[in-house]
Amino acid sequence: MINISENAARQIKESMKESDSEGMALRVAARRLPDGNLDYAMGFDHSDHNDSHARSNGIDIVVGPTSTELLRNADLDYVQMEDGEYRFIFMNPNDPAHGGQTDPGSEEGGDGESR
């Protein structure tokens, strides 16, 4: 399903502590946009009986049925960007934008970024 880098796992665990979400899973979702690229979203949630489950670098991951195929073999990392800020990025072979990297750190959406 999804592989989470050590850097991303460290940041996710920190976010869990800050938001009182410890013990919850990381829900990751993707949807295909009209141009074929993917839009990503993630947050802390409880599992549903229809979800796919995985664990990577100590993070429990849940993915709903509509996102499972879109996220197959995707990698989530937390990296420093050219502007000096750190962001989560998806590297996903199922996303036509995979030649570049997609950034889920924005609330904008619509161009491969998550909401």
| Number of other residues whose CB lies within 10 A of the CB of residue 74 | 24
Longest dimension (CA), the chain: 41
Instruction: Name the strands in the sheet holding 25-32, side by side, starting at the edge strand that comes first in the sequence.
Output: 38-45, 25-32, 59-63, 52-56
Q: Specify if 108 maps to a domain.
A: no
Q: Specify if 106 maps to a domain.
A: no
Query: Looking at residues 9-37, what average pLDDT do you find?
Result: 96
Q: Chain centroid to CA 35: how far?
A: 20
Which residue range is the domain that position 47 belongs to?
Answer: 2-95
Q: Specify if 90 maps to a domain.
A: yes
Q: What is the pLDDT of residues 50-108, one digit of tens each?
A: 999 999 999 999 999 999 999 999 999 999 999 999 999 999 999 998 754 445 543 33
Residue with tokens 């993707």: 30
pLDDT at position 101 is 46
Query: For the chain, how many structural domains are there in total?
Result: 1
